[in-house]
Structure 1
Amino acid sequence: MTDPQTDPTAPIDGLSHVHGPDEPPLQHITIPALLRQAVEQHGSREALVFTDAGIRMTYAELARKADELAAGLLELGVAKGDRVGIWSPNRCEWVLTQFATARIGAILVTINPAYRLAELEYALNKTGCKVLIAAESFKNSDYLGMIRELAPELAAGPLSPVRLPALRYAVVMAADTGPGVLSFETVQELGAGADTAELDTISAGLKPEEAINIQFTSGTTGLPKGATLTHFNIVNNARFVTDRIKLTEADRLLIPVPLYHCFGMVMGVLGAVSKGATMIFPGEAFEPGSVLEAAAAEHATALYGVPTMFVAMLQELDQNPRDIASLRTGIMAGAPCPIEIMHRVNRDMHMQEVTICYGMTETAPVSFQSFTTDPTEKRCTTVGRVHPHLEVKAVDAEGRTVPAGEQGELLVRGYSVMESYWDDPAATEAAQADGWMRTGDLATIDTEGFCSITGRIKDMIIRGGENIYPREIEEFMLRHPEVGDAQVFGVPDQRFGEQVCAWIVPATGASLTEDQILTHCRGQIAHFKVPHYVRIVAELPMTVTGKPQKFKMREAMVQQLALS
């Protein structure tokens, strides 16, 4: 366990350049090997609990169920290196798919449950998914209906759908899936009773440096990019994240954050497995009452969330008190934490040892994290100190490392940096140089090595912990025949931190309304990307060189809406 007193991660030579400690050592293992270790050491211990579904499994049962699914996928012709998409809220099938694909070296493509038709089509085609595993529906999203709309040919058998040419099978978590779509249970049954020798042979041939996960993260170029992560990336990051919160096999980790994101699948699932801890999932999506009920009933000791989730839980706790005194630690990430919220989480939720962390999908994800012993003020104003085996520096516009305390762009180098953006060498080259990953985030690193995020070079909006990239929404809006120009930016919001705002210039001769823009977006892009505010304008503020001035648009909206 890293001790901040014996291993201070202070800047080198007075510059904003820090090295993480060399202990504990990196593990050169794969995800199947990580799960095997957990089974050998904690096989009879409870591995996971899905409170809403009434599901409980030990580590031995989890491994057996994952093996059945892995064998079933082999029966469908899935092989090492093939891409398998998972499109679902937090369900037991998600976790089984995570370990089943890793067992046979298939690359898991995580798809945001909020994605709609256009986004799903792009993600599946960009990665060439051979199989898509999906929930039947979630909230107001009819997944099965959207799959059939994109790939009606599946009803005739494993053909190549015109719009999804790589897809061979759709597997849906439902008893009655209709023609051409397999049920999850059917695939599981295909592998039931299978000899694990073949699986063991495949797993033994996997290398930690091989890709095992693709997670989509949008970019300023518009379309989402597939950050390609290896076993080595995410296994070790999961270990170090849970080291910082002192997680052990005695802990019960409550995971209300989404599995499709690194927070859920890496920091949550793999982090718990690396320690033999119990994973508790309180529902398919975050609902404060359900989380608190699960914390009380399951005697959770650790809890993950973004600040807006903790605010909602504190409000729920005020209205309906629960006994959650078992809580001790956890992680708050995704956005800055107001100090008054931290004080209440420490006091009212008993999480004296909650930590803050910072990272990005491309770095698997965490680079900085506070220690449980750091002062509250440091845990609110900074994102902690650098993780083991990583090197981070802050540089100016010319790439020179800035003095400690001065602002610069964060660059990260080490074991956690992604392999590439899937099938996008130009974007990979633009993001990486000499092993350094450009984060696009502005930050300062103080003389003790604490890092504070001060801004974003990238024009990104953070709404309730969701990263939203304006260019992606702008390009989608420009598909509307009556839109001449579109500019999307964030405006302050008390609940979510920021809300999406769009200024639209109609095409020549067109007559657009705000409702037409919203109708164009709904059902096609994720709900959190749909603009909260839309304004139809005759022109945009521009620089003398013709570049839109978003800061002027933002200032005008703030004044118009009387926002602070």
Structure 2
Amino acid sequence: MCIPTPTPGPPLTFGEAMRAAVREHGDQQAYVEGARTLTFAEWDRAAAGVAERLAGRGVRPGEVVALLLPSGIDFAIAYAAVLRLRAVVTAVNTRLGAHEVGAILRASSPALVVRDDTVPWPAIDPGTRVIGHDDIDWAAAPTREPGPASTSRPDDAAVIIWTSGTTGVPKGAWYDHRGLAAAVASAGAIGGRRERRLFSTPFAHAGYLAKVVEQLVSGSTLVVSPQPWSVQDMARLLVDERIDLAGGVPTQWAKLLTVPGLDRAVLPHLRVGVAATAPASPELVEAVRERLGCSLVVRYAMTEAPSITGTDPADPPAVQSRTVGRPQAGMAVRIVDADDVEVGGGETGHVQVRGACVMRGYWQAPALTEAAFCGDWLRTGDLGWIDHGGNLVLVGRSKEMYIRGGYNVYPLEVEHELADHPKVARVAVVGVVTPVLGERGMAWVVPTDPDDPPTLRELREHVGARLADYKSPDDLRLVPELPVTAMLKVDKTALQRLGDPGSVDVRVGGAPTAPGSTPPAPAPPRGDS
């Protein structure tokens, strides 16, 4: 089933958007990072000064500049400076390891790397030109009055964004200026307003790199969240910075509800919350709306298409917790079978998307690009179906689906049900190889109360009352936290590696491997606190 949506308006280049931002809201704050702030006019002027410095290092139009910088104001200045030179921005997440960083730099062949040495980056190829963070005066004005911010064309390459690389080396999804501008129309309920946004996503992520033009057009302020995250910091910033829009995983929203005195009376500006990376239960959606006075909305996106679908603040809790909403402006979604033939509404199949927010391809990788597309439809690798209201319901990744006794099981579908259990704070389900059945389902659960965790029997009964019995988890592993990738998604590859019978806490028909004990959590990836 294909759902078309309107296409966005005429494209802007980043430079045109920056000039308009300075003209229309130059004195407004663009960024708040602790005690440091930056207006749109200051952002533009600082970018002009840094662009002079980078040009002096030989950066030319069309060349790639890699940012090895933490999220924050200096990252934003460097981003704008590179595009001012008609060069191409790429960035490396501070959480990545040596293998991933090396693969990204080899694949992007940057003309220059801008590196903050306070971050323990791995060694860089000696032949790569590097400029240190401290070698740049980030506040210096240009030596001459800056000219136009960019003379880029809409189809010039602008940004390369790297996938998390859980199934191999990272791949670089690249976007032209037209693709960046598409974020304006596709922002839906979370964009288009001059408001203050609490931002905790790494700037090297598509959630920032592909959405900056929307910030310029709307005139919104990004309040950068301190790292590592804490509920106290989030609560403080929501109140002190008078935040209008905030994002977080369901666990973070649940923790906010436990902060004494945090309610709609002290959060008069909080309009919308964005729930990401895991299903939010209807109870959580209702509790946030009742206690904090804002609606939780869901967004479905990926590195290769940073805007796809989303729910609306007016949607009922069942839609917010069970679906990822309807296509955003400029995007279309269809469900196809294994032969790329479109299926009817309500049928489960492969999710493909098309529209202005889709990447132009993988950087310098024509074979990977060709495999990623069916005509102009992007193969997302996700499985789902479309309900009677036109909402997309995801049931899992095609590579995550497992076959238990001849029956297909979609992990995300099971996770939605488990997330409704009052004793489950966070959950991930993976398929692991087993004799006879072929594969079995293993549930990794972060309990709501570590002193009163759910039992396997409780979870099986809970799922079995709602889904087919073969979809109930066969194994349970209790952990204090779920491992995440550098892009803050649950690392199911790591869970599958740990999912052998010897590491299972509880098994169907069996006893705990060590009665009364819980095995240690999987080791977090590099950079976790």
For 2:250, the equivalent position in structure 1 comes to 307
| C-alpha displacement of 1:299 | 0.8
1:454-493 matches, cutoff 5 A: 454-459=395-400, 491-493=443-445
1:243-322 matches, cutoff 5 A: 243-245=188-190, 247-249=192-194, 251-267=195-211, 269-315=212-258, 317-318=259-260
For 1:17, the equivalent position in structure 2 comes to 2
For 1:511, the equivalent position in structure 2 comes to none
Aligned partner of 2:23 among 27, 40, 47: 40
> 1:491, 1:554 within 8 Å by CA — same for their partners in 2?
no
Unaligned residue ranges in structure 1 (runs of 5+): 1-15, 152-160, 175-182, 471-486, 497-521, 540-551
User: Deviations along 1:173-219, whole A, 9 cap, x unmatched?
Assistant: x4xxxxxxxx232x765x6323423x55xx22x11122211111145
For 1:396, the equivalent position in structure 2 comes to 337
Closer/same/farther in 2, CA of residues 553 and 44 from structure 1, 3 Å limit: same
Closer/same/farther in 2, CA of residues 208 and 287 from structure 1, 3 Å limit: farther
| C-alpha displacement of 1:120 | 1.2
Q: Secondary structure at the match of 2:304?
A: helix
Closer/same/farther in 2, CA of residues 86 and 226 from structure 1, 3 Å limit: same
Aligned partner of 2:63 among 73, 82, 85: 82
For 1:505, the equivalent position in structure 2 comes to none
CA RMSD between the two structures: 3.7
User: Deviations along 1:9-59, whole A, 9 cap, x unmatched?
Assistant: xxxxxxx1100124xx32311112112111111112222211x2x111221
User: Deviations along 1:438-460, whole A, 9 cap, x unmatched?
Assistant: 00101111232111111110349
Aligned partner of 1:194 among 135, 144, 151: 144
Partners of 1:554 and 1:435 lie apart in 2 by: 46
Closer/same/farther in 2, CA of residues 391 and 554 from structure 1, 3 Å limit: farther
Closer/same/farther in 2, CA of residues 526 and 450 from structure 1, 3 Å limit: closer
Closer/same/farther in 2, CA of residues 135 and 445 from structure 1, 3 Å limit: same
Partners of 1:314 and 1:558 lie apart in 2 by: 37
For 1:547, the equivalent position in structure 2 comes to none
For 2:174, the equivalent position in structure 1 comes to 228
Closer/same/farther in 2, CA of residues 255 and 136 from structure 1, 3 Å limit: same
User: Deviations along 1:401-425, whole A, 9 cap, x unmatched?
Assistant: 1111111111111212211111211
Aligned partner of 2:310 among 369, 372, 382: 369
| C-alpha displacement of 1:137 | 2.9
1:453-532 matches, cutoff 5 A: 453-459=394-400, 491-494=443-446, 531=494
Partners of 1:193 and 1:314 lie apart in 2 by: 51
One-letter amino acid of the structure 2 residue matched with residue 306 of structure 1: V
Partners of 1:558 and 1:168 lie apart in 2 by: 58
One-letter amino acid of the structure 1 residue matched with residue 72 of structure 2: R
For 2:351, the equivalent position in structure 1 comes to 410
State the number of aligned residues.
Answer: 446
Closer/same/farther in 2, CA of residues 87 and 340 from structure 1, 3 Å limit: farther
More helix by share: 1
For 2:46, the equivalent position in structure 1 comes to 65
One-letter amino acid of the structure 1 residue matched with residue 302 of structure 2: M
Aligned partner of 1:100 among 81, 104, 111: 81
Partners of 1:297 and 1:131 lie apart in 2 by: 39
Partners of 1:490 and 1:97 lie apart in 2 by: 44
> 1:89, 1:284 within 8 Å by CA — same for their partners in 2?
no
Partners of 2:447 and 2:14 lie apart in 1 by: 37
> 1:118, 1:525 within 8 Å by CA — same for their partners in 2?
no
Partners of 1:309 and 1:536 lie apart in 2 by: 26
| C-alpha displacement of 1:246 | 5.5
Partners of 1:93 and 1:68 lie apart in 2 by: 12
For 1:31, the equivalent position in structure 2 comes to 14
User: Taking every aligned residue pair, what percent have the same amino acid on both sides?
Assistant: 25
Partners of 2:190 and 2:28 lie apart in 1 by: 20
For 1:210, the equivalent position in structure 2 comes to 156
Higher RCO (CA 8 Å, separation ≥ 6 residues): 1
For 1:131, the equivalent position in structure 2 comes to 112
For 1:168, the equivalent position in structure 2 comes to 129
User: Deviations along 1:225-272, whole A, 9 cap, x unmatched?
Assistant: 11112221122124421x3235422x11111222111223334x4433
| C-alpha displacement of 1:333 | 2.3
Partners of 1:194 and 1:130 lie apart in 2 by: 24
Aligned partner of 1:338 among 256, 268, 281: 281
| C-alpha displacement of 1:368 | 0.5
Q: Secondary structure at the match of 2:335?
A: strand
Q: Secondary structure at the match of 1:72?
A: helix
Closer/same/farther in 2, CA of residues 371 and 535 from structure 1, 3 Å limit: closer
TM-score normalised by L of structure 1: 0.71
